[in-house]
Chains A and B, each alone.
Chain A
Amino acid sequence: MPSVFVSNISKSFGKVRAVDEVTFEVQEGELFGLLGPNGAGKTTTIRIILDIYKPDSGSISVLGGPMNEAKKNRIGYMPEERGLYQDVPLERCLLYLASLKNVDRAVARERLEGYLEKFDLQAYRKKKVKELSKGMQQKAQIIATLLHNPELIIIDEPFSGLDPINTRLVKDMLLQIHQQGTTIIMSTHQMHQVEELCDRILLVDHGRVMLYGDLDQIRRQFSGHAVLVRTREPLPALSGVAHHEVYNSATKLVLEDHIHPQEILQELVARQLTVEQFEIALPTLDEIFIQVVEKRESQPA
């Protein structure tokens, strides 16, 4: 059963169509990437899922049916424009937000203890939120999202404002709760984060679905006829290679149409070269994204 099922939703604000016939589903326990540039309609889609906005058309099913008040307790949401009470001590703010998710105070207190330790915020518990740095506030916001042990987490741009160490920390945390079986929808425009974390993605642009499905399949689908090769010895000229380009420490060989990658491997072996890396050259999400957007822009509307 999908945790979230979005069926053909559209939403306009005035003349701007923010979401245009978007359909996708997120399976239970999945770490799903919602991608797109700024202004693509990601946040609006999330707000529709959470029943903050009503869609103009289409329907939503969350945790097995329409959204209702009781389900709010089972969902953790971290908005992109983060919000914590600024004038209130950190601990009090987080405990209050947990109480709004119906978490027993004692339980919330105990969990909070663990999270404050994990995120290295213990020393700041009595400090007012506004006295914390941006990164600390971001971590506090993540705690607020997790404190009630939600079944479904919707998290908008979780890494913005974090330094590399904290980015790692948050990533590990997301992977850990993902392993525990929590469904996570992560919305971001940072493609490389999604490549690292997500199994399936939805890419939207101008409110429309551009790509949807298994990340590996999508990359395969966009892979050109090329292989990435690294050998200990200098790479000699090979037959069947249309052209090559140096690609990080490896070389990307773009093959002639009739050549199968297997033939190149055989030739490398036959020439007694020490092959350290040989793989089908898959495009990065960034590259795919640029391809998709360029293609869309070149097509008449």
Chain B
Amino acid sequence: MKKLWAVIRYEYTRHVMRRGFLIAVFSVPLWVLIITVVGVILVWVEADDRAVGYIDHSGILANPQPLPERDYLSRPIPLLAFENENSARQALEAGDIQAYYVVPADFWENGELQLFFIETPGSIATEEFIDFLRLNLLSDLPADIRERVIEGADVHIVTLSEELEASGFSVLLKLLVPAFSGMTMMIAIFTSSGYLMQAVVDEKENRTMEILITSVSPSQMMAGKVIGLIGVGLTQILVWLLIGLAGLTFLIRVNPVFSAALINPGNLGLAIGMIFPAFVMISALMAAIGATVTEAREGSQITGLVTLPVMLPFMFFGILIEQPNGILALAMSFFPLTAPLSMIIRASFTVIPTWQILTSEIILVLSAAGSLWLAGKIFRLGMLRYGQRVPVREILQIFQPARLRVNGGKDE
């Protein structure tokens, strides 16, 4: 146990203290922040908040009702009435307004409007006028009905079991946030299991392996490395999570609608339940790959066999959204490599039956245990092969217990 702990501690600190790790951990949130800030600034700077003018020949806007105050992230756009087209044109040419509408006298009959501009006006400006017009078309109706028509319906999705709830803008957040977090976690898993593979290849290359296995058992070695590297991955996820939470807290203060981005505890539990065994499984497979190949470059080519299926659910994102309980979704939920992301994505769109969650979880846990076992065996096969790959034939022999033989490679 003491040795296992020593391996875990060493592997953890060795990677976490590396400059490359710190850069990897902090660069991702930094980029997200930079892109967001730059995006917001660009929208703000480029958004044209000059007034939009209008000339009303129809009389609909003769005695206009103003739009109710709205919850804007950008600045509101004033709407200015002009007596005639000449004065509106002058204002447009002077740059006082960004565009002007002409509501013809026969608007009631054919619903046609004219829009004049020098440069295409922003979409917010045009939407604002259309809403304003709509509101005043309905001026005969009571105020609350008018407002309801303008605002539209805020759809609340509530399943019978009330496990899945979402509404309006929050629907979008609720759907995208879990998928996005799932992907982020996978990136963390791939990064740290990549380190693991690299570490094993290095130990083979610099011959440390012989010293190690005459000090600890290969299985202890393997377990220590996998646990240590999972620690590295979890640290990465934790840092991102904390930075994400800090960012979210700020956004919720700006606008409470962002609180929908907080994943509900049920889904969070499911995600953790899926991610953890997936982490063990992927790390073990990566270590096994590291033990079979001769150099890291070769290893990273083979890792595609693992990383590709894991990311597959993203490629079928559309199908998973449309048919979260379809055959493909089900199949992917029960295949160990695709299960974690499929389940996380599905959970955002449907209520997954308990039996499916349990089956998927059991498959994942068993696969994780199996991968560890397999990795231990392959590790023993490959650990002393310098400059030589372990032949597939020998790996397959692992599954024939009676014929299992530990064999070394090139030697003197």
State whether B211 touches A79 (Cβ < 8 A). Answer: yes
A41→B408 CA distance, assembly (Å): 13
Residues 63-87 of A, flagged 1 when their CB comes within 8 A of B and 0 if not, give 0000001001101010101111110
Residues 1-31 of B, flagged 1 when their CB comes within 8 A of A and 0 if not, give 0110011001000100000000000000000
B93 at the interface (CB under 8 A from A): no
A50→B412 CA distance, assembly (Å): 16
In this complex, the member of A44, A83, A144 whose beta carbon has the largest number of chain B beta carbons within 10 angstroms is A83
Q: Given A44-B411, A102-B3, does the pair A84, B208 have CB atoms closer than 8 Å? A: yes
* Chain B residue with Cβ nearest A43: B412
State whether A77 touches B210 (Cβ < 8 A). Answer: yes
A88 at the interface (CB under 8 A from B): yes
Q: Given A52-B214, A102-B3, does the pair A85, B408 have CB atoms closer than 8 Å? A: no
State whether B405 touches A54 (Cβ < 8 A). Answer: yes
A81→B207 CA distance, assembly (Å): 6
State whether B408 touches A100 (Cβ < 8 A). Answer: no
B386 at the interface (CB under 8 A from A): yes
State whether A79 touches B207 (Cβ < 8 A). Answer: yes
State whether A81 touches B210 (Cβ < 8 A). Answer: yes
* Chain A residue with Cβ nearest B11: A96
B64 at the interface (CB under 8 A from A): no
* Chain B residue with Cβ nearest A86: B206
The residues of A that contact B408 with a CB separation of less than 8 Å are 13, 44, 47, 52-53
State whether B410 touches A13 (Cβ < 8 A). Answer: yes
A159→B410 CA distance, assembly (Å): 23
State whether A72 touches B216 (Cβ < 8 A). Answer: yes
The residues of B that contact A84 with a CB separation of less than 8 Å are 206, 208, 211
A97→B209 CA distance, assembly (Å): 11
* Chain B residue with Cβ nearest A79: B210
State whether A72 touches B214 (Cβ < 8 A). Answer: yes
The residues of B that contact A146 with a CB separation of less than 8 Å are none
State whether A97 touches B206 (Cβ < 8 A). Answer: no
A81→B217 CA distance, assembly (Å): 20
The residues of B that contact A97 with a CB separation of less than 8 Å are 211, 215
A40 at the interface (CB under 8 A from B): yes
B135 at the interface (CB under 8 A from A): no
A40→B411 CA distance, assembly (Å): 10
A239 at the interface (CB under 8 A from B): no
The residues of B that contact A39 with a CB separation of less than 8 Å are 412
Interchain nearest-CB distance for A255 vs B (Å): 41
The residues of A that contact B412 with a CB separation of less than 8 Å are 18, 38-44
B352 at the interface (CB under 8 A from A): no
Interchain nearest-CB distance for B301 vs A (Å): 23
State whether B206 touches A85 (Cβ < 8 A). Answer: yes
Interchain nearest-CB distance for B379 vs A (Å): 12
A18→B386 CA distance, assembly (Å): 17
The residues of B that contact A50 with a CB separation of less than 8 Å are 214
State whether A82 touches B216 (Cβ < 8 A). Answer: no
A36→B408 CA distance, assembly (Å): 21
A144→B210 CA distance, assembly (Å): 13
State whether A88 touches B14 (Cβ < 8 A). Answer: yes
Interchain nearest-CB distance for B229 vs A (Å): 16
State whether A52 touches B384 (Cβ < 8 A). Answer: yes
B407 at the interface (CB under 8 A from A): yes
Q: Given A13-B410, A96-B10, does the pair A52, B208 have CB atoms closer than 8 Å? A: no
Interface residue count on the A side (C-beta < 8 Å): 34
Chain A binding surface, main DSSP class: loop
Interchain nearest-CB distance for A284 vs B (Å): 24
Interchain nearest-CB distance for B153 vs A (Å): 60
Residues 198-238 of B, flagged 1 when their CB comes within 8 A of A and 0 if not, give 00001100111111111111000000000000000000000
The residues of B that contact A52 with a CB separation of less than 8 Å are 210, 213-214, 384, 408
In this complex, the member of B3, B206, B210, B384 whose beta carbon has the largest number of chain A beta carbons within 10 angstroms is B210
Residues 89-123 of B, flagged 1 when their CB comes within 8 A of A and 0 if not, give 00000000000000000000000000000000000
The residues of A that contact B211 with a CB separation of less than 8 Å are 77, 79, 83-84, 97, 144
B256 at the interface (CB under 8 A from A): no
In this complex, the member of A43, A52, A75, A100 whose beta carbon has the largest number of chain B beta carbons within 10 angstroms is A100
B269 at the interface (CB under 8 A from A): no
A297→B384 CA distance, assembly (Å): 31
State whether B210 touches A83 (Cβ < 8 A). Answer: yes
The residues of B that contact A200 with a CB separation of less than 8 Å are none
A99 at the interface (CB under 8 A from B): yes
State whether B411 touches A18 (Cβ < 8 A). Answer: yes
A84→B408 CA distance, assembly (Å): 21
State whether B209 touches A83 (Cβ < 8 A). Answer: yes
* Chain A residue with Cβ nearest B7: A100
A38→B7 CA distance, assembly (Å): 34
A47→B209 CA distance, assembly (Å): 12
* Chain A residue with Cβ nearest B221: A100
* Chain A residue with Cβ nearest B410: A13
State whether A101 touches B215 (Cβ < 8 A). Answer: yes
Interchain nearest-CB distance for A176 vs B (Å): 23
State whether A77 touches B207 (Cβ < 8 A). Answer: no
Interchain nearest-CB distance for B154 vs A (Å): 57
The residues of B that contact A73 with a CB separation of less than 8 Å are 215
Interchain nearest-CB distance for A63 vs B (Å): 13
Closest 7 pairs between A and B when the two form their complex, measured CB to CB: A83-B207, A83-B208, A100-B215, A99-B6, A81-B207, A79-B210, A39-B412
- 23 pairs, A vs B, C-beta closer than 8 Å: A18-B411, A39-B412, A44-B412, A47-B384, A50-B214, A52-B384, A53-B408, A54-B405, A54-B406, A72-B216, A77-B210, A77-B211, A79-B207, A81-B210, A83-B206, A83-B211, A84-B206, A84-B211, A85-B206, A97-B215, A99-B2, A100-B216, A101-B215
* Given A13-B409, A13-B411, 19 new contacts (CB under 8 A): A13-B407, A38-B412, A39-B412, A41-B412, A44-B408, A44-B412, A47-B384, A52-B384, A53-B407, A72-B214, A79-B210, A83-B206, A84-B208, A88-B14, A97-B215, A99-B6, A100-B216, A101-B215, A144-B211
